[in-house]
Structure 1
């Protein structure tokens, strides 16, 4: 093989090497690349109209992922949609980075890439959103994610608008965030069914607000006899409890009266023991090694 290679080289010297490749040959390019690499070479400098065209293309590349996010129906679906949108945003940012724009557009061009990068990074961490969706509902949590996306991109969108450039018009708009709610300590959120002489005194020794549910024997936790809100570090009493019952409580933040759910940082517990009718009980929700009432985690309700 060495002799063949040398002969070929000598032949080239003797007869002269053409600068034009023969039919079917592939022209070498620097660093082992091919001519196709030229397609990703930054173009420009782009003016207003040409840059707007590229912005429109970038936004269209996000359309499917944005729709998937807004239509997520489960916690798992929401996490997957966030991951897909994160990848799509990174792809759009890469395409924009390959462009060269006129000097007056350079600052907003860089700002847009930066803000897209921030949004993509936050969407890539979907674990907390998936947990929140399990307690606050996937639709509610998806709307939170959509609002955060708009907030992350807002500085760039505002700067583009000042230059009469359009980007972000297809972003989902879930509307304003609901106003914060925090019921009064001891406020009764639900009460139905027969009343009795049972009484329950609860001390919430934890750092989170709780909604504690008295659930009549045989009923699911979503259908409580009484549900009472107890703020962190506070105590309250539930009276006129009728019949034997089980005790459930959920804790978290971002309470919604309409859904009777927390929106983030949730946990769901049930006391293992049953509570007999027409008796008075005292409960402290703060975990302790000397406690005599075990609890277990339960599915979201």
Structure 2
């Protein structure tokens, strides 16, 4: 009969196994370890400075809620302001549950949250956009539309609300998945662009930071459970259309066999980013909406025009 597994720090009852360390931690010492690492990322890499006004992009999922919670926790000690920005894409049976969880946490920790919607910004919801794509047989994936529109909405809202930084909930798993997908697709620009933080690139682009950059997804989940951060376990219905879904499964299988694999992949990614500096891109303002872009018309305006013009008119085939 096996005995109780003990925390390697205090000898108390363990609740979390940190596979890449080969050690067990009790809830108290796991939370301490988790928060210390996130705070160290913020300070060591100077992601935030005293006087910053940090917008946190919050979807209502575990990663973004954890980011909002921690940024609020560290804000007074580190001397910055924090608020949340959520984007309502208009995904029925999904987004409303996530927003409910977000509002609940925001009330609990005393943080303002601002909501931008696809309908207000682009004239249609993501569900309506997907219907247009299906009706017309257009070869644009839902995740492509969502990604372009979300990035646009978050940057615009953050800037208009006076943010000096935009924090996202991307964790270690997100980073290695995107890196692997960029490798498969030979997207060199994507590899060198996706880092811990973005450099300032003009006054209309809000610099982005990733406080959970070095934190595995499983640890984020454990943290939310221990801290009582409630989040609905519902996945976006469009995830099945993304290459990311099988890539995530594959990387998790390798991590289970070889703990620490994801950190090694991240190290390779950083090596690529150091060897291959991003090509210089001259930023200009979109001639349609006035937002920053590297092309005469930004991708969001291109997609918006494409989708609205392709809508099926009643009686038309």
- TM (norm. structure 2) is 0.22
Which structure has the highest helix share of the two?
A: 2
- TM (norm. structure 1) is 0.23
The structure that has the greater radius of gyration is: 1
Of structures 1 and 2, the one scoring higher in RCO (CA 8 A, sep 6+) is 2
